[in-house]
Structure 1
Amino acid sequence: MPTLDDLRRLSLALPGAHEVNFKGDPWFNVGKKTFALHLRGRTIMKLDKEHQHFLFEVRPETFQKCPVGAGVWSYVALERLDDGELADLLLEAWSTIVPKKVSRPVLEAAKA
């Protein structure tokens, strides 16, 4: 079962990622764009819209809509994931905010 420390470790391992402290909560950014955060005890990620809707349907106990922005944010119950799934979700979230020329080689290497 992943923890906030795992969220931090895996987020910061992604190219260009850094941690921002917002009112005592960790937000994980590339530049000024956020891809994951832990806010008031809940983890929130910016996931691919189609994947997000699929997850809401098949795993509602783990993934829930987060009413922020354009609806591409998801509450994610860390305690219902394993480390590998958390790493994959963070990679997906990260890839939604970086340019394709940055994400493409990282995503291809992750598949290999």
Structure 2
Amino acid sequence: MALALPGASEVEYRGEPWFQVGSRGFACQSRGQIIMKLSSAHQELLFEARPDVFRPMIAGALRWSFVEIEQLDADELADLVREAWTQIVSKKVSRAYFDAA
């Protein structure tokens, strides 16, 4: 799903898959959990509304989301992967992608 997005590639980080565009990551697996870079406002909403599925992952100044993906349907997971990707690509790239879809 992540690799279908423009510019996305998969690298290995500490033995785990990491999805990125250039050198900027947007989703990774860590110790059996998925971590995604979601928008700040959306993260806060999800942390409050669905704490069983979404939890904060804080590393210094970074605030990402732990996501229990087995509790999501395929459409919601796809939406979240695209959202994470849009957090690191330029607006020009994301607009072109969504306009073509």
With normalisation by structure 2, the TM-score equals: 0.94
Kindly indicate whether residue 69 of structure 2 is the aligned counterpart of residue 66 of structure 1. Answer: no
1:40 matches 2:40: no
C-alpha RMSD over aligned residues: 1.2
* Structure 1 Cα separation of the partners of residues 61 and 41 of structure 2: 13
- Asked if residue 14 in structure 1 is aligned to residue 5 in structure 2, the reply is yes
Aligned mate of 1:91, from 72, 76, 82? 82
Cα-to-partner distance string for 1:12-40 (whole Å, 9 max, x where unaligned): 01100000101210000000000000011
Q: Which contiguous aligned blocks of 4+ residues in structure 1 show a shift greater than 4 angstroms?
A: none
Residue number in structure 1 paired with 2:15 = 24
Which residue identity lines up with residue 75 of structure 1 in the other structure?
F
How many residue pairs get aligned? The number is 101
Identical counterparts, % of pairs? 54
1:62 Cα deviation after fit:
0.3
Distance 1:92 1:109 in 2: 16
What displacement does 1:106 show? 1.8
Cα drift, residue 69 of structure 1: 4.3
Q: Is the 8 A contact 1:48 1:72 kept in 2?
A: no
* 1:104 CA drift (Å): 1.1
Counterpart AA for 1:78: I
